[in-house]
Amino acid sequence: MNKFRPFLEAPCGKIAGFYENNQALFLGIPYAKPPVGDLRWRNPVEMPVFRDVFFADKYGGTCPQPKSTWIEIEEDTQSEDCLYLNIRASRNACGSLPVAVHIHGGGYTIGTGANEDEDGRNFVEQGMIFVTINYRLGPYGFLYLDDIDKSCQGSGCIGILDQIAALRWVKKNIAAFGGNPDEVTILGCSAGGGSVAALMVVEQAKGLFNKAIAQSGSLRLTKSVEKANAVAQTFMKYTGVANLSEMRALPHEKLFKAYSRTLKKYGFTAKETAFAPVRDNVVIPEEPFLALEHGAAKGVKFLTGTAKDEMNGFKHISRITKILSFRIFKWIVPQDVSEYFGRIDDVVADFYNRNYKFLSKPDRLFKAATAGVFLLPQLHMAIAQSKYAPVYYYRFDWGGKDGALHGSESPFVFGRYDADVKPDREYRKPPQTVVNAMHNAWAAFIKTGTPATGTTINWELFDDTNYATMLIDEKCELKHDPDKHERVFWDNLN
């Protein structure tokens, strides 16, 4: 073995990686058997020990997905054979370093663990091991087949079971890479944050991590069995076959065609709503918020929060959204999409029209949607978990003319000083103070369980008496219950 190539022996077998800028990289390690053929729509199956040296020098396949303006993924890198993870460590990593496992976002439909903007290199420089993963997306990972074939219990959460398989692999093997298997933080944004939230209440995930970071993703981002079954029936109709065996035998091209048709049927934001983890009571509890309230994630330290103006980023997805108001929304938006936005009715419209007259009509609607989809669910998760473990809450406030948009904090989390952040569709280099505050806070939490922005401000623990919230901007500020006006209104709705 070349002495200039990082080489190690782990329980999974012998692995060789490569060096890049004083860091050791191990890319494209399979954590489960390829989910193809008869393993399509089956729970992940553990890989056997490598017989020979596994050369981990290139990324594995990314789950097939529709084209998106959010991320570009080459078609020739997409494959149903996608259950791979990547590890990045310092060149001389040794001992028992804290481990971060990043779960990518993308509405459970797009995304990859091979995104170089989120590869964790700056976290590694701060003394940890960083892991990124791929998991099955769309119908490959979240097609609810339980009612179609009784052998498929848990099928609506296969993507979550993939994540658990990856975490089990980390638990078993990461010590060989210099990581501490008992100090694992899971983190993600959007659907990645929703995955983190789901893992907190899934019984099979217990003991696989002790800290969790959910950015703008909550247990709200799950589907009921009823709605998931409707999507599955539509998908199966588009495949043109009669049973699961025939679907497993379909060539991928026909499967993907049915996938594309299914997405088109479910409204203009269907890519966010057609496929998501299912509250099936097999993997995810039927009442996941209740499970959290009853201590499902007891002892897991939790960092969570949202961007201030989450939904404003969706104003640009079509010309229609630029003229939306509460009234127009009720007329034109499909029911399955409107429910994704949370409760949007006359009572909500009256509240926002009266209290936010300084905003345009579309902005009032998107502010209500921000509260319904992100703010309230995230707060409710923080309240529930604060009874069982330390919880820290943030609100990301930095942004352009459209505000602090959904996902706009991610480059800051990864310490990207040269990030091409486009909050108002124009290039704007992020202030170094904001990048430092966000990245340092996340790194500190992963290493110690307590976030620190690098300023003298004390980040207080969050609970339902103080609602302590760190506002992250060019100047960070700790405030108690900064969204009280909206919070009280929504809490009193039901």
Per the annotation, the verdict on 287 as an active-site residue is: no
What are the tokens at 294?
């009853």
Instruction: Name the pairing type of β-strands 13-16 and 54-55.
Output: parallel
Q: What are phi and psi of 315, to 5 degrees?
A: -65, -20
Q: What are phi and psi of 189, to 5 degrees?
A: -120, 145
Residue 3 Rama label (left phi>0; alpha psi -120 to 50; beta) = alpha
Q: In angstroms, rounded to a whole number, what is the distance separating the alpha carbons of residues 205 and 212?
A: 12
Q: What is the chain's alpha carbon radius of gyration, rounded to the nearest angstrom?
A: 22
Distances (CA, A) of 406 to 311, 337, 352, 397: 6, 17, 20, 11
For every residue of 4-70, DSSP letters joined together read TS-EEEETTEEEE-EEETTEEEEEEEESS----GGGTTS---PPPPPSS-EE-BS---B------SS
What are the tokens at 151?
């052998």
Could you tell me which residues are beta bridge partners of residue 215? 189, 305
Listed as own residue / partner, the contacts of 58-61 with beta carbons closer than 8 Å and 24 or more positions apart are 58/27, 58/28, 59/27, 59/28, 59/84, 59/86, 59/113, 59/114, 60/27, 60/28, 60/29, 60/30, 60/84, 60/114, 60/134, 61/134
CB-facing half-sphere around the CA of 95: CA atoms within 13 A? 11
For every residue of 237-264, DSSP letters joined together read HHHT-SSHHHHHHS-HHHHHHHHHHHHH
Per the annotation, the verdict on 439 as an active-site residue is: no
Per the annotation, the verdict on 360 as an active-site residue is: no
Tell me which of 155, 190, 216, 338 is the catalytic residue: 190
| C-beta separation of 66 from 110 below 8 A | yes
Could you tell me which residues are beta bridge partners of residue 132? 86, 102
Sheet of 129-133, strand order: 18-20, 23-30, 84-90, 129-133, 97-103, 179-189, 211-215, 301-307, 391-396, 468-472, 477-480
Q: In angstroms, rounded to a whole number, what is the distance separating the alpha carbons of residues 7 and 425?
A: 44
Q: In angstroms, rounded to a whole number, what is the distance separating the alpha carbons of residues 334 and 332?
A: 6
| C-beta separation of 284 from 157 below 8 A | yes
| C-beta separation of 354 from 385 below 8 A | no
Tell me which of 118, 183, 272, 310 is the catalytic residue: 310
Q: In angstroms, rounded to a whole number, what is the distance separating the alpha carbons of residues 396 and 398?
A: 6
Tell me which of 406, 409, 410, 439 is the catalytic residue: 406
Q: Which residues are catalytic?
A: 190, 310, 406
